[in-house]
Amino acid sequence: MGKRIWPLVVLLTLVSAQPLAAQAASLDFVPYVGLFMPTSDLVNTTFVSPPSTTVQVKIRQTVGVQLGARLVAWWSRGVGWEGNFAYALSQAEAKINGVDQCSQSGAKCDANVWFISSKIMFRYASQPYTSWALFGGVGLAVAGHVGDFWENAQAQTDLGGVLNVGGSFDLSRIFAIRVDLEDYIYQFKAVIENDPLLGTVQASAKWQNDFVLSAGLVIRLSGV
C-alpha cells in the first residue's frame, strides 16, 4: 500500500509548496547530509507457535546515513515555511528469540526510510546575512519504509509529526552553514506475510522517535 501512496504524497507536497514559496520575502535551498538515529523497535511482539512454543519477534532499524534537501520560504525575518525530503540508508535487525535473522547468509535486510515534511519555522537572527541565527519548527511528516526487507509487508507509509531545532552561520549574503536536529514522531504498524525470515507477523502500532542530526549548505535563491 505504501508504494502506491508515496507518489501522491510527493505530488501534494510540491503543489502546496508553490503558493507558499510565491509569497516569500526570501527563498532558501538547503541540500544536506545527516545521521539517521532510530530509538524504538518497529516490532516487539510475542506469540505462541504450534504446538506450544513461545516466539518473540523484534525488528528495528539500524543507524544510517541520511541525504536530503529543504526548500525554505521566509515570509519575514522571524517566520517561514519549510518543505523537506530525506532518504535514510539503513538496515533491519530482525531477531527471533534473540537470534538475528539478518546475520544469515543471503538474508535481504535492506530497510531504508524516506521522509516528507511540511513545517512552520520560527527564526531569531541577530543580523540578517552577516551573522548567526537560531530557529525551530513544527509540522506534519510522512514516513515510508522501503527496501528488500519490507517487500512482504502490507503497510509501509505512516503519517506523523516532526519537531526541529537548529542554527545557521552566514558565510556570505548568499551562503550559510546550517545544522539541524529533527525528531520524526509517528506510529508504525505492518503485517508481514510469508516472509522467508519471519513467516507471518502482525505488528501492533508502536510510536517511533527517529532522530536526525544533519548539516547542510544554505543557498539563498532570492531576497538577498
pLDDT in tens, 19-52: 555 566 789 999 999 999 999 888 777 766 556 6
pLDDT band at 1 (very low <50, low <70, confident <90, very high): very low
In the chain, the number of structural domains is 1
pLDDT of residue 26: 85
Distance, in Å, from the CA atom of 216 to the CA atom of 212, rounded to the nearest integer, reads 13
pLDDT at 37: 96
Helices (H), the chain: 2-22
3-state helix, strand, coil in the chain (%, to 5): 10, 65, 20
For residue 106, what is the domain's CATH number?
2.40.160.20
The pLDDT tens digits for 166-207 are 999 999 999 999 999 999 999 887 776 666 656 666 666 688
Cell of 209: 522517535
Higher pLDDT, 101 or 85: 85
User: For position 42, what pLDDT does the model report?
Assistant: 84
Q: Does 127 or 31 have the greater pLDDT score?
A: 31
Query: What are residue 86's phi and psi, to 5 degrees?
Result: -145, 150
- Domain that residue 74 falls in: 2-222
DSSP state of 91: B
Q: Which residues pair with 195 in a beta bridge?
A: 199
